[in-house]
Amino acid sequence: MNQTDQNPSPTSGRSRKWTRRTVLIAATVVVAAWPVYHFYWRYHVKRFQVVREGVFYRVAQPTEVGLRYLVEERGVRTVLSLRLEDEHLRPGLLDHVLDGGETERTAESQFVSDLGVQYLQWPMGREACWPWMTPWQFEEFFRLVDNPDNWPVAIHCVGGRHRTGTLSALFRLEYDRWPVERVLAEMYSFQFGPRVPLQEFNLRTYVPRPHPSDEQWREMQHAWAPLVGEQPDYEALVRIVAAQRTEPAVETALRTMLKQDHPFALPLAQRLMTKADDPLADAASTAASQCLARKDAGDREVAMAAALIADFGSPENQQELMRQLESGSRDATPSPRYDALVTGVANRYTPNRIAFLQALIDDERPIPRPGADGCRYCDLAVVHLAAIVDQRLLPGGSDPRHDDWDRGRGLARQWLTAHADAARLCRLQPPAGHTQLHADSSPTSARAATLRR
């Protein structure tokens, strides 16, 4: 052993001590900095979550810094506020303190528009069925998210829990096709608090818009490619066909497919039609009535046929649909066909659906669907009617009892009796609700649009 090994250098010991001290200091700095960083992050983008990268984000009320982050780092193109007011934004963490609070805060609509992205405000908070959305917002939600020009969309309310949680849950059900138990677990994980039965029931009984099977999609591709070119998926096909509805060849093709009972023609027609006077309405309702007349029609086709007749059917077709509903409600157990009919008439929250909800008000049988969790058809009628007419038909509290649901049915019957005209069969009546769209189309507004009460 040499002398160096026997007598270690004093400097090497000091070096090891300094290294340990450096590591300890660095670790202390990291540990101390983490809460500061966490607080800073929560201050600006509290409860931020990527629901789907590049498509949909959720967050509590962001600050100016938070909105810059969403737009500049996440590429957000649309900011959707669910608040009742146009919030005047908080600036940076210390900005308002350092300037003595003298700087006037900027309204969110102006700040977002100045960033060059679309701003929407859908006021939620005064509804009797809070935190469920209004019928108008339910309809508009799909138009917003279906269009890639709006992506990514960032939605927020105040705390990012209830109103934001509702739209995020609906996104999971419709676009991610999550099972409802997983959806509810995620929604409640955001410090949601006590559950809201009316909102949860709507989520439990929600049925996503159908997509074609692989075989049906191949047939659709083959049929549509000569007219609109090859499309990567069904949603892209829906968008391109909707954009080219004014082309005579496209409209003729739609009519031909409906007349020939082409695979998935009925679901496609329902996706394309938004007004009672749609040029395709008569052809679609005729095809739908023929579908309901067939005993071998599949459940998905029956559901879409019922939806089309509820919105666009002739008085005779609507009366036949009502007859089938009433007949099916008298069976000992609900058949798959009956459940498909209910799915069709309850898949929207438009006022013309009230007549068909009235037909369900006495049906006390449980809904035989995964995730329905003992919900009855009569309860479905109550919660849908409550959302459409904005009436509190269920008592407060997170766990209504059987008697509470029955009292809700009684209130629903009272409303229907007092508003007999609203329960008459009629074609599509788009919901007006409490919101109207105001859009500034000037170039400087960057497509800014605001919904105000």
Asked if pLDDT for residue 145 goes beyond 70, the answer is: yes
Rounded Cα–Cα distance for residues 351 and 389 (Å): 8
pLDDT score recorded for residue 396? 66
pLDDT score recorded for residue 374? 83
pLDDT score recorded for residue 9? 59
Rounded Cα–Cα distance for residues 167 and 58 (Å): 9
Asked if pLDDT for residue 276 goes beyond 70, the answer is: yes
Q: In 3-state terms, the chain is what percent helix, strand and coil (to 5)?
A: 55, 5, 40
For 66-125, write each residue's pLDDT tens digit.
Answer: 999 999 999 999 999 999 999 899 886 555 554 555 567 899 999 999 999 999 999 999
**In Å, how far are 45, 89, 156, 239, 399 from 296, measured between CA atoms?**
53, 58, 46, 31, 41
pLDDT score recorded for residue 438? 37
Query: Residues 160, 187: contact at Cβ < 8 Å?
Result: no
pLDDT score recorded for residue 452? 30
Stretch 417-446: mean pLDDT: 68
260 class by beta-carbon count within 10 Å (0-12 exposed, 13-18 middle, 19+ buried): exposed
pLDDT score recorded for residue 78? 98
The DSSP 8-state label assigned to residue 128 in this structure reads: T
For 183-229, write each residue's pLDDT tens digit.
Answer: 999 999 999 999 999 999 999 999 999 999 999 999 999 999 999 99
Asked if pLDDT for residue 44 goes beyond 70, the answer is: yes
Asked if pLDDT for residue 319 goes beyond 60, the answer is: yes
Q: Chain-wide mean pLDDT for the chain?
A: 87
For 354-381, write each residue's pLDDT tens digit.
Answer: 999 999 999 999 999 999 988 999 999 9
3-state secondary structure of 196: coil
Angular region, 125: left φ>0, alpha ψ -120 to 50, beta rest: left
pLDDT score recorded for residue 441? 31
pLDDT score recorded for residue 7? 57
- pTM here is 0.86
Report the percentage of the chain scoring pLDDT > 90: 75
For 162-192, write each residue's pLDDT tens digit.
Answer: 999 999 999 999 999 999 999 999 999 999 9
Stretch 117-143: mean pLDDT: 93
Asked if pLDDT for residue 39 goes beyond 80, the answer is: no
Q: Which domains does the chain have, with CATH numbers?
A: 44-209+437-452 (3.90.190.10), 217-423 (1.25.10)
pLDDT score recorded for residue 10? 56
* DSSP state string for 34-57: HHHHHHHHHHHSTT-EEEETTTEE
346 class by beta-carbon count within 10 Å (0-12 exposed, 13-18 middle, 19+ buried): buried
For 379-426, write each residue's pLDDT tens digit.
Answer: 999 999 999 999 999 876 677 888 889 999 999 999 999 999 999 999
Query: Residues 428, 116: contact at Cβ < 8 Å?
Result: no
